[in-house]
Structures are given as C-alpha cells and as structure tokens.
C-alpha cells in the first residue's frame, strides 16, 4: 500500500506533498520520459537510478545462484561428506529467477521517481535480508553435514 502513496498525486483532496520534494533538482513526482528528455540532467538522475537498480538486481541474482548451488560448490563441507547435490532450477524457473529481478528496471522507467527510489530500497533490503538469512541457515546446516 505504501507503493500507492508514490503514485497518487492527490490524497484526501490535498496535493501529495511527497511528490513535490526533489532529488538532485528532479521532483519526486516526475517520470523519466515526461521530463526534459532521457539525456538531460533530469534523465541523468533516472539513468543513475536505473544503474543502481541494475547493480542491486545483479547482486541479488548472483547471491540467489550462490545459495541455490550444490552444497559443496562454495567450499562448504557438504561435498566432502558426500551430501547429494541440490538441483539448480532449470527451464522456465531457472530463466525467471535470472531475469525477473531486472524487470524492476523496466517498471522504474514508467513510475514516478519516488516509486523508483522505493523499488531500489526494497530490492536492496530484500537482497540483504536474504543474504543474512541464508548465511544463518547454512551456518546451522554445516555441523549436520559434517556429522553425516
């Protein structure tokens, strides 16, 4: 529901003050192609946002691939203990897990800057949270794998 706040120009009959604030001189309510052009200062802010989202998406895909790899692939004790390798997602599922995070960039190109910043923040938070949780899960599983 918070995402809707970044898309609504009027809230309870009053202008949405959030959308009138600025980031590097670009109003948070502006859209990428609705401004001075994609290669103006306005466009540069959006291109920077797209680059940051791409970087975070790339990191999320890489981390997801690392955590779904076979237990011995990253040097853990799983391969030495003879644990069966976890299958990597293939086919449509594998393709979706590699491509879907980058769809956020496409979405950010059509929503206001505030919504794009929200997408960047939530994507980065999700990647960081997943990393912490997966490391904890792997740390708990390593003693069990070594004992097997």
Q: Please, how many CA atoms are within 13 Å of residue 57, restricted to the half-sphere of its CB?
A: 20
109-135 pLDDT per residue, tens: 888 888 899 889 988 998 888 888 888
Q: Please, how many CA atoms are within 13 Å of residue 145, restricted to the half-sphere of its CB?
A: 20
Residue indicated by tokens 């708990």: 140
pTM, rounded to two decimals? 0.68
**Residue 28 DSSP one-character state:** T
pLDDT at position 127 is 85
DSSP H helix total and E strand total for the chain? 5, 4
Q: Is the pLDDT of residue 104 over 90?
A: no
Q: Which residue has the higher pLDDT, 118 or 78?
A: 118
Q: Residue 64: what are its φ and ψ, rounded to 5°?
A: -65, -40
């Amino acid at each position: 529901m918070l995402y809707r706040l970044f898309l609504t120009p009027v809230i309870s009959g009053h202008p949405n003050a959030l959308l009138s604030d600025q980031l590097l001189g670009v109003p948070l309510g502006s859209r990428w192609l609705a401004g001075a052009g994609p290669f103006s200062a306005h466009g540069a802010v959006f291109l920077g946002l797209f680059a940051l989202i791409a970087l975070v998406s790339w990191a999320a895909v890489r981390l997801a691939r690392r955590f779904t790899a076979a237990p011995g692939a990253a040097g853990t004790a799983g391969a030495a203990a003879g644990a069966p390798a976890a299958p990597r997602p293939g086919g449509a599922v594998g393709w979706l897990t590699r491509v879907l995070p980058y769809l956020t960039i496409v979405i950010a190109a059509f929503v206001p800057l505030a919504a794009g910043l929200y997408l960047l923040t939530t994507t980065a938070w999700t990647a960081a949270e997943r990393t912490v949780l997966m490391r904890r899960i792997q740390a708990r599983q390593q003693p069990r794998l070594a004992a097997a």
